[in-house]
Homo-oligomer: A and B are copies of this chain.
Amino acid sequence: MIPLEVLQNLAEKTPSKIILMIIDGLGGMPNPETGLTELETANLPNLDAMAGRSIAGLSDPVGPGISPGSGAGHLALFGYDPIKYDIGRGALSAFGLDFHLEANDLAVRANFATIDDNGIVTDRRAGRIPTEYNRELAELLRQIKIPGVEVFVVTESGHRLLLVFRSDNLSDELTSTDPLIVNQPIREAEPVVPAAAHAAEVINAFSGEARRVLSGKHPANGILMRGFAKRPNIPSFQTLYKLTPAAVAAYPMYRGVARLIGMEALPTGNSIAAEFQVVADNFERFDFFFVHVKYGDTAGEDGDFSRKVRVLEEVDENMPTLLNLKPDVFVVTGDHSTPAVLKNHSWHPVPFMLQSPLCIPDKLPSFDERAVRGGSLFRFPAKEGMSLMLGYAQKLGRFGA
C-alpha cells in the first residue's frame, strides 16, 4: 500500500469525477441447488456490460480469511488501513444513531441488564426489553449527575443504549463493566493506562448511580458498559486526496463513517432509485461520490438468496442513472461478502470493477465472483483501491523525478 503521506503529496485538485458504489455484503457463495452465486444468478445486463468495459479483480477488505465489520470494510475502500484505523464499537454506535461525537467525547456501548442483590449479572440483555421501555428507563438515567461531565443517553433499540460522556481527559483505555458471561459479578471499569484513571472513576460512578436509579426496575435494574471509544482521528478526504466528497447513504452508520472522513452526507430517500437520483442531482457540486446500497447485506444476513438477487437486479435496473453521468472513474464493489448461505459477513474476497475511459478493458463477460478472477486487478487489498481510483481519474501527479 502506498503510504497516505505519499498519496497526499501526489494528489491534485482536478475537475474529474469519481463514483464509488459500495453494495454492502456484495460477495456471495454458490446456492447449493444451482451451484451459482447471487451475482451469477441475477440478471444484470448493465453491470455485465460495464464489466466488459472495466478492469476487475477480487479485493480482500482486511486480509485473507478475515471477515470484516462494515466500518472496517468501508474504511479500507476509502484508502485507510483498517487495522491501523480500527474504530471502536462505541464510536460506531454513535455514527449509527447520527450522534455527532466531539473530540473529547467518550462513547460507550451499553446494555440494560438484570443484576441480583449480590451484584451478579443474571441476564446481560435484561430479558430483551422492548425499545419503548428502554426509552422510559433512559429518562431515569438522564437524571444522573456526574460533576464536570455532560452525559448523553441515547436509546438504540431493545436493550441497547449509547452513552456519551463529554469532559476533558476521558481516555478510552478502560476495561468493560460487562463480565461478558452471566453468573459473574458486574465489574468495575479499570484503567489500562494511568491516564485513564479519571475515565474509570466517571464510568464507575455512572454504573453505581445507574443501579440506584434503576433499582426496582427489574429485569432492567442495571447497565453494562463496553466498547469505550473516542472519536477516531482520521485524516480527511480533503486533506489527503484534495477531494470534495459526498456520501449518499440511507443508513445512519454509513453517513456517520462518511462524515468522519470529511464527506458531506447528502439527504436521500431509502430506495436505490432515490439514492442514485441524489448523485445525479448533485453531480456538479462534488468530485467524489460514495454511494451506499445497504440491502444486499441485509438480505444476505437474513439468508434470503432470492432477495439478495433481486437487490442486485434493482441496482442493475437503476445503473443508467449513474452511467449517464459519465463519471471519469466508476467503481462497483462491496465492503465485504455476505453470502446468503452463511447468513453472515464472510472472509471471501469481493468482486471489484473500475470503469474509466483510461483503462485497458479486461473484456470480462460478466460481473461476478468467478468472472472477475480473469481480471487484470487479480487479487488485491481493498485499501489499495483508492490510489487506483485517483490514478485513473488523473488526480495524482508523477512520483519521483
Contacts and interface: CB of A to CB of B under 8 A. Distances in A.
Interface of A: 1-3, 6, 10, 29-30, 37, 58, 62-69, 71-72, 82-83, 86-89, 92, 227, 342, 345-349, 358, 360, 362, 369-370, 373-380, 384, 387-392, 396-401
Given A63-B384, A360-B369, A400 B2 contact: no
10 contacts: A2-B63, A6-B83, A29-B358, A62-B399, A63-B387, A64-B380, A65-B387, A65-B389, A69-B398, A86-B400
Contacts of A358: 29, 342, 346
A63 B377 contact: no
Nearest to A397: B67
A376 B3 CA distance: 27
Contacts of A89: 401
B362 A62 contact: no
B66 A2 contact: yes
B69 A391 contact: no
A346 B10 CA distance: 13
Contacts of A387: 63-66
What is the predominant secondary structure among interface residues of chain A facing chain B? loop
A66 B3 CA distance: 12
Given A347-B391, A379-B380, 7 more contacts: A62-B400, A66-B396, A68-B399, A69-B401, A71-B400, A360-B369, A378-B379
A67 B388 contact: no
B401 A64 contact: no
A378 B30 CA distance: 21
Contacts of A29: 358, 360
B2 A87 contact: no
A391 B6 contact: no
Nearest to A66: B399
Given A2-B63, A373-B376, A379-B376, A400 B362 contact: no
B390 A65 contact: yes
Given A373-B376, A399-B82, A360 B30 contact: yes
A221 B376 CA distance: 52
B398 A345 contact: yes
B400 A82 contact: yes
B398 A68 contact: yes
Contact of A400 (B69, B388, B391): B69
Nearest 9 A-B pairs (CB), nearest first?
A65-B391, A72-B400, A65-B387, A347-B391, A69-B400, A2-B63, A92-B401, A89-B401, A65-B388
A83 B3 CA distance: 9
